[in-house]
Amino acid sequence: MIAGLQCVVLDCSHPAELAEFYQALLGGAVNQRDRRWALSDDWATLHTSSGLVLAFQRAVDYQPPRWPDPTRPQQFHLDFGVADLDRAQEQVLALGATVLDDRAGGQVWRIYADPAGHPFCLVRH
């Protein structure tokens, strides 16, 4: 092994707002003190209970992906396991997510965008 995953960083226009979106989805602590990062208006973090750390970095002139448009590809996406797709969909939409495709995977997975436009999937487990 060469390295360990430290965190996943998402570019966005509003780091604190996106951190709060993912906190509502995954739980955890927004902007927990951590010697690895200096927090600022341009950088926010979410430490989840699973140990995963998501970071959110302000990008000047941020342009969100346009799934599935190849001229502005998704770049990456996150999959989140859920027990009940319908209930999870209600919850993420109430948090500010938008549906990109809720038919592609039927009752197995559905595709959304977070408030900054990053695609993510809810996957029934």
* Mean pLDDT, rounded, of the chain: 90
Domain spans, the chain: 8-58, 78-124
pLDDT in tens, 36-67: 888 899 999 999 999 999 999 999 999 999 88
Split at pLDDT 50, 70, 90, the class of 92 is very high
C-alpha–C-alpha distance, residues 111 and 32, integer Å: 29
Output the CA torsion 74→79→80→83 (10° steps). 120
97 CB-near residues (< 8 Å, 6+ apart): 21, 112, 113, 114, 115, 120
Q: 105 pLDDT exceeds 80?
A: no
pLDDT of residue 32: 96
pLDDT of residue 94: 96
C-alpha–C-alpha distance, residues 125 and 118, integer Å: 22
Q: 6 pLDDT exceeds 90?
A: no
Q: What is the CATH number of domain 78-124?
A: 3.10.180.10
Tell me which of 15 and 70 has the higher pLDDT: 15
pLDDT of residue 79: 83
Q: What is the CATH number of domain 8-58?
A: 3.30.720.120
